[in-house]
Structure 1
Amino acid sequence: MKESHFQEPYNDLMGDIIKKHAEEGGMDNLPGKGKPLSQDYFSGDTLQHFQRIAKDAGYKPHWLNLQQEIREDVLLLADCYEADITVDLEERLEEINKKVTKYNRSCPRPMQKGPVSLETIKNVLAKRGESL
Structure 2
Amino acid sequence: MKHNPGFGKPLPRKLFKGNVNDHFVKIAKDSGFKPPWIALQSEIRNKIRNIISNKNSSIESELYNWIDEVNIIIKKI
TM-score category by the smaller chain?
0.5 to 0.7
The aligned amino acid for 2:10 is L
| Distance in 1 of aligned mates of 2:2 and 2:11 | 20
Question: Which consecutive unaligned segments of at least 5 residues does structure 2 have?
Answer: none
State the identity %. 26
Question: Which consecutive unaligned segments of at least 5 residues does structure 1 have?
Answer: 1-26, 104-132
- 1:85 maps onto 2:58 in alignment: yes
The partner residue of 1:64 within 3, 16, 38 is: 38
* Structure 1 length-normalised TM: 0.40
In the comparison of the two structures, how many residue pairs are matched?
Answer: 71
* Structure 2 length-normalised TM: 0.60
Using CA pairs below 8 Å that are at least 6 residues apart, which structure has the higher relative contact order? 2
| Distance in 2 of aligned mates of 1:30 and 1:54 | 21
| Distance in 2 of aligned mates of 1:53 and 1:80 | 35
Q: CA deviation at 1:66?
A: 1.3
Q: CA deviation at 1:38?
A: 4.0
